[in-house]
Amino acid sequence: MKVAALLERAVQRIEAAEQLDGLSSLVSKALRPVIRPGVIEDTLSGTELTHPLHPMLVTVPIGAWSAVPVLDLSGDRTAARRLVALGCVAALPTAASGAADWLSTQGAERRVGIVHALFNYTALGLQLASWRARNQGRHGAGMALSLAGAGALAASGWLGGHLTYAQGVGVDTTAFQQLSAEWTDVAADADVPAEGDVTSAEVNGVPILLARRGSRVVAMAGRCTHRGGPLHDGEVEDGCIVCPWHGSAFSLEDGEVASGPATRPQPMLEARVSGGRVEVRRAEERTLRSNPVGV
């Protein structure tokens, strides 16, 4: 059997492993009081960066620990020990940012995420043991432990790639939505509620959100960029629509993220009222939206 098929079979078993749900529930209950919605969660999620923070932080421990075997082979034991320590220190904020992302997953994604984390903590434990062995002068043991840690990190990295590229965790959920560049009738002006409330409509099967801002009707993508939550089920607060799933707030004026854990703004559409009907069209063009592969 090909390696690709073996890997896919393995990850499918993880996705279906309901035995992991009990552990996930315990970890979630322990983490939520620490990673509270608001400043802490937004910071760890990367809300102010407009992209998830976790993928940026992982480069430090991966880079540090990956260079250790090279330094070991070159005989520079001091530099190798220092890089082991650097990776261990950098792993702490990296793990915290990953935990923040994991808290808003469910089902198969949450199961893969918990195994991904277990491999990461295994790698961290092995690297800590390597650092201790090196400090005690047991360089052979330190090298072996570092290599074992690198193996655990490789397994974790593969699962992290699966979470992002196969399951879409951390990806803007509106990236592939195809919206028309032509004015499209979506609703009667009378059906758009007064300011302070919202309604939903569709454009080519893509859900959109309609709301009033003063005398204007505004339109934005109807699914939250964070995890695809239905924004029309959310509440309007301080000029923002709040996602009912994870509490991300988006400005109804321009779609910008007012509070996370979302990192990407909601795509806005141009909207106008003509003959008592609301018409919309896309306000920007992105290749994946306007010219999706296979269409």
Average pLDDT over residues 225-237: 95
Domain termination residue (choose one: 137, 166, 195): 166
Residue 177 lies in a domain: no
CB-based burial label for 17 (10 Å; 0-12, 13-18, 19+)? middle
Give the residue among 84, 97, 81 at the shortest CA–CA distance from 134: 81
Closest Cα to residue 176, out of 13, 36, 52, 291? Answer: 291
pLDDT class of 294 with cuts at 50, 70, 90: very low
203/222 Cα distance (integer angstroms):
10
Interatomic CA distance for residues 101 and 246, integer angstroms: 11
Using alpha carbons only, give the angle 184, 188, 193 rounded to the nearest 5 degrees. 120
Do residue 150 and residue 224 come from a single domain?
no
Q: Give the global pTM.
A: 0.88
Say what the pLDDT of residue 283 is. 78
DSSP assigned state of 234: S
Q: What is the CATH number of the domain that holds 204?
A: 2.102.10.10
pLDDT at residue number 295: 42
Which string of DSSP letters, residue by residue, matches 157-213? HHHHHIIIIIT-TTS-TTTT----SS-EEEEEGGGSPPTT-EEEEEETTEEEEEEEE
Note whether 155 and 10 are same-domain residues.
Answer: yes
Please check whether residue 245 lies inside any domain of the structure. Answer: yes
103: exposed, middle or buried (Cβ count in 10 Å: 0-12, 13-18, 19+): buried
Q: Are residues 43 and 189 located together in one domain of the fold?
A: no
Give 48-78 as a DSSP string.
GGTS-SHHHHTHHHHHHHHHHHHHHHHT-HH
Tell me if 11 is assigned to some domain: yes
Q: Indicate whether 171 belongs to any domain.
A: no
Q: Is the pLDDT of residue 285 over 80?
A: no
Q: What tokens were used for 84?
A: 């082991």
pLDDT level of residue 177 (50, 70, 90 thresholds): confident
Number of domains in the chain: 2
pLDDT computed for residue 290 by the predictor: 54
pLDDT of residue 289: 56
Domain range spanning residue 240?
Answer: 184-290
Q: Which structure tokens are listed for 152?
A: 């655990």
Domain identity same for 91 and 52: yes
Q: Classify residue 291 as exposed, middle or buried by CB count within 10 Å of its CB (0-12, 13-18, 19+).
A: exposed
Q: In this structure, are residues 267 and 156 in contact, taking their beta carbons and an 8 Å threshold? A: no
Which of 117-131, 176-190, 203-217 is modeled with the greatest confidence?
Answer: 117-131
State mean pLDDT over 48-74: 95
